[in-house]
Amino acid sequence: MSSWPALGGPSTKLRFSTDLFVDAPAKPGRDGVTMDLLSTLPASNETLEPGAVLLRCFARNDAALIADIGRIAAAAPFRHMITPGGFAMSVAMTNCGQFGWITDRKGYRYSAVDPDSGKPWPAMPDAFRDLAARAADTAGFAGFAPDSCLINRYVAGARMSLHQDKDEADFAVPIVSVSLGLPATFLWGGAKRNDKPRRFRLETGDVVVWGGPARLNFHGVDPVTAGDEACRYNLTFRKAA
């Protein structure tokens, strides 16, 4: 990723505990008992611009996906990674798949092992892989086979500033981004950092896919607001190598 601004101040001033919500039980989402109305919403596709599509209500199995996140986090706990500039990110992160995205004082990169444990990242669940491939296909990118899934956890106040995803080997391969839990406001910018971003509200089950001419567009997330769920999760599927 490109330059991340200071979010939480120097790492010694980390404000979020790394173990918050790791064991929080998954609440029913759009496919759950308490949200029957939402589960009847039709899926719809919205083109943000050529190469970028918002698939609303695409992931119907959000509660099952959140349960999978819990299992992954039990093996590779969420942590607030440190930017090369020495600041803790407000978003807590973990990964699954062959490669995981990491940042520390040495820079942004992919790693085949979790630096906290020295072990490989947990395997990517088949349900994750299938969802990502179906979403990419629906958006017009057939044959997407991610080798990496970054899992972001946003508690209230956590945000992600405008950035490009550019640590991957091949920008011809698209990105699939799945929203789960609390809603969020997604910032969709342009090819240049100072292009004014448009804002889209993302709800649990919504998926954004971008590739082709939009592959390097700037994007980010406004501070998440507290709500009925403990937090927001985002799954970012990419082909790292």
Ligand X SMILES: O=C(O)CCC(=O)C(=O)O
- Footprint on this chain of Mn ion (rule: CB under 5 A): 165
Q: Is residue 95 a contact residue for ligand X (CB under 6 A)?
A: no
CB of 101 to Mn ion, least distance (A): 9
β-partners of residue 109 are 102
d(CA 173, CA 34): 37
Interior/surface letters 213-233, b for 16+ CB within 10 angstroms, e for the rest: ebbebbbbbeebeeeebbbbb
Element (H, E) at 151: strand 148-154
CB of 83 to ligand X, least distance (A): 13
Q: Which of 177, 204, 205, 239 binds ligand X (CB under 6 A)?
A: 177
CB of 36 to ligand X, least distance (A): 26
Q: Is residue 234 a contact residue for ligand X (CB under 6 A)?
A: yes
Q: Is residue 219 a contact residue for ligand X (CB under 6 A)?
A: yes
Out of Mn ion, ligand X, none, which partner does residue 221 contact, by CB within 5 to 8 A per kind?
ligand X
Out of ligand X, Mn ion, none, which partner does residue 217 contact, by CB within 5 to 8 A per kind?
none
d(CA 203, CA 101): 24
Other CB atoms within a 10 A radius of the CB of residue 53 amount to 24
Q: Is residue 204 a contact residue for ligand X (CB under 6 A)?
A: no
Q: Is residue 240 a contact residue for ligand X (CB under 6 A)?
A: no
Under DSSP, is residue 239 helix (H, G, I), strand (E, B) or coil?
Answer: coil
Name every residue whose Cβ is closer than 8 Å to that of residue 6 and which is 6 or more positions away in sequence. 83, 85, 87
Residues 131-150 that bind ligand X (CB under 6 A): 150
Q: Is residue 94 a contact residue for ligand X (CB under 6 A)?
A: no
Size, binding site for ligand X by CB under 6 A: 10
Other CB atoms within a 10 A radius of the CB of residue 67 amount to 14
Q: Which of 69, 133, 221, 224 binds ligand X (CB under 6 A)?
A: 221
Which residues would be at the binding site for ligand X (CB under 6 A)? 150, 152, 160, 165, 177, 186, 219, 221, 234, 236
